[in-house]
Structure 1
C-alpha cells in the first residue's frame, strides 16, 4: 500500500469550489470507492500584506479579515507534487497558506 497524505489549505469562501476541483483533478479526494471527498469549515482568516506584496484581496499595509474555509483532503503520496501545484495554480492568493501532513501507514 502506498502512503496517503493530507492537504490542509485555507481559501476564501468564494474560491473553495474552484480550488477543490483543481486538487481533485490532480488526484486528491479519493477514499476507497468514493471520490471528491473533502472536509471543510468556515472561519475568519486574517493577514496584513507587506510592502513587497501584491495582494489579490486587500491593500498593502492594511489588516484584512474575511470568511475563509479550512479544507482537508487526502491524496496518495506519489501525487503530492501534482496536488500542491494544482493548489498553487488555482488558489487566488499570492501566497496560499497550506500544510501537507504525512499520515502513518496503518499496515506497518
Structure 2
C-alpha cells in the first residue's frame, strides 16, 4: 500500500481526483474515492526554458492550492502517478509517494 500526495490548483482539484479514482486510487477494502485534502498557498518561480501553466518565467507566482492525499494499492501506484501527470495542469507536478507498512 502507498500514499500518494500532490498539490493542485483548486479549480482543477476535482478533475484530477476523479481521474485518479477512475483507475482505482483511493480504494481501501470496502470503500472507494477516499482522500484527504487541505487548502494552502504555494509558490514557485519558473526558470528559463519553462512553459508554466501559471505565471511568467523569472517571476515568483503564488497560488491557492490543495494538498490532496490518497492511498493506492501496490498494483495501482505506477498507473496513479502516470494518471496524475496526465490529468494535472502543471508542466511539473509536485507529488510524493510513500510506501506504507501494515501492522
* 1:80 and 2:80 correspond: no
Name the structure 1 match of 2:90.
Answer: 93
Q: Does 1:35 align with 2:32?
A: yes
Q: Distance in 2 between matches of 1:57 and 1:29?
A: 28
State the alpha-carbon separation in 1 of the partners of residues 20 and 62 from structure 2.
25
Q: How many residues are matched?
A: 103
Cα distance between partner residues in 2 of 1:59 and 1:98: 22
Q: Deviations over 1:30-82 (max 9, x none)?
A: 12211111000000010000001000111111100010000000010121111
Structure 1: which 4+ aligned runs deviate by more than 3 Å? none
Q: List alignment gaps of at least 5 residues for structure 1.
A: none
- Residue of structure 2 in register with 1:45 after alignment: 42
TM superposition shift of 1:25 = 1.1
Q: Normalization by structure 1: what TM-score?
A: 0.92
> Could you say what the CA RMSD is over the residues aligned between the two structures, in angstroms?
0.7
CA distance in 1, matches of 2:57, 2:24: 35
**TM-score (norm: length of structure 2):** 0.97
The gaps in structure 2 that reach 5 residues or longer are none
